[in-house]
Amino acid sequence: MKIFLVGIGGIAMGNLARMLQEIGHEVTGSDENLYPPMSDQLSAWGLSPKKGYHQDNVKDQDLIIIGNAISRGNPEVEQVLNSGTPYMSMSQALNQFFLKDKKVIVVAGTHGKTTTTFMIHHLLKEIGMEPGLFVGGIRKDEHPGFEVGKGDWFVIEGDEYDSAFFDKGSKFLHYKPYYLVLTALDYDHADIFADMEAIRVQFRRLLRLVPSKGTILYWQKSKELADLTKPFKFAPVVPYELNLKSSSLSYKKLSLQWNESKLAIRPNLMGMHNYRNAEVAVRIAKLVAPNQSDKILSALISFPGVKRRQDVRYEDSYTVVIEDFAHHPVAIAETVKAVNEYYRGYKVISLFEPRSATSHRNVFQKDFAKCFEGSSLVFITEVFNAKKVDKESKLDVKKICTKTLQSSRALGVYCKNPKDLVAKLKKMLPALKHEKVAILAMSNGAFGGIYKDLIEIAQNRVEK
């Protein structure tokens, strides 16, 4: 089959293109702004996407897959609609080509999806199940986040964002979960969800897809998830939480126990939220392979972690530089807490770029004033691409830095942009010359490419 992907340059769409190629289809696509790493990766896979969108690109194709960043008015979309060529969203394509004959494990929720999905896949693969995988991230060992898989199981990250301009339901509604993991539920994606109830509607629909032979696991300390799952009666609903009665925890070691199996683990993760992810990953693996507890627990030790999730970019005995994807107040609070616990005795300096569709709006104005608690210094840039949000809705970064951050007993520093942040950090850091410092940079984007500068700043510190 000749398959064409409109918007092939996105990581998820590019990965889907490769998977389709691996199962024998003739694949190509187009994008307006092709840039590394995906442009290089597509080239390495032998895919030669068209630059720019043109009507002729989609002629003589058997199927068109349209990415969720593509809108009406796109020349290729108009040609497809006028010609009657079959088309579908990325989520529909995943279901059609990869999920249809599998038992699917869907990991959904506001936070922790990527890490938990990768972890479940790793455990199942290590015990020989050969599962498929589709997740929006890259592991620290460079695993790209997708795998066709030869076994009966497929593990997929269940994103609540919509699928395409013609398919406005959440992506996860196409994934037919057999086992469903719900990690958390908070308000997010203010660009497409008017309020929390709009998000709940999508998750209620997801619950209804789980068969009676399947299972739903949810984090029991989330009131939203508890309320959401309580009335559901058509499949087993199981709460989970790190079982501290049968597990012991220190800030750099976790001991897990199921039945007679107990193992001390030093995972490539930090923070209670990630230990919860480990807990539910092991629970899912035990549902799939109930007689392999020891192997499952042993496999957890070798999990390499995920890039941009508590990703240590530089470390010496005096300074550590950490990159993290956190951009929601809840995730920021968990991450700051985790770094404080893991690097005890260090002063935490938090750097934040409000970049996502929700974080650059003022819906979390008060929350951002509180979520950096545990930081000694907080540097926040002006919102990324301020033109995307009107003045009345825009996050007031100056107000956070000059007034409300005081409630967290942290000094807030307003920065015009990432370059300004680096300059101000260089100027203020010498005041902590006798302190061990953890520099925690949080953004769901490139953060202006500041990591090279941060590493240089760290290397130039004079050890006490």
pLDDT per 10-residue tile (average), the chain, 464 residues: 95 93 96 82 90 95 95 96 97 96 95 92 96 89 91 96 92 96 86 87 96 96 94 94 54 53 58 82 93 86 82 91 88 90 91 85 83 92 80 85 66 92 93 90 89 93 62
Packing angle of the helix pair 272-288, 113-126 (nearest 10 deg): 40
* Ordered structural domains, the chain, with CATH: 2-85 (3.40.50.720), 93-301 (3.40.1190.10), 311-459 (3.90.190.20)
What is the residue whose two structure tokens read 């290397």? 459
Q: How many CB atoms are closer than 10 A to CB 316?
A: 12
Which H or E run includes 280?
Answer: helix 272-288
Q: What is the pLDDT of residue 408?
A: 57
User: How far is the CA of 12 from the CAs of 67, 132, 175, 325, in angstroms?
Assistant: 9, 15, 15, 17
Q: What is the pLDDT of residue 463?
A: 54
Q: What is the pLDDT of residue 401?
A: 86
Q: What is the pLDDT of residue 264?
A: 55
Q: Are 169 and 163 in contact (CB under 8 A)?
A: yes
CA-only gyration radius of the chain, Å: 23
Q: What is the pLDDT of residue 243?
A: 58
Q: Are 441 and 450 in contact (CB under 8 A)?
A: yes
- Residue 308's nearest CA partner among 289, 328, 326 is 326
Written as six digits, the tokens of 167 are 């398919």
What is the residue whose two structure tokens read 């058997």? 62
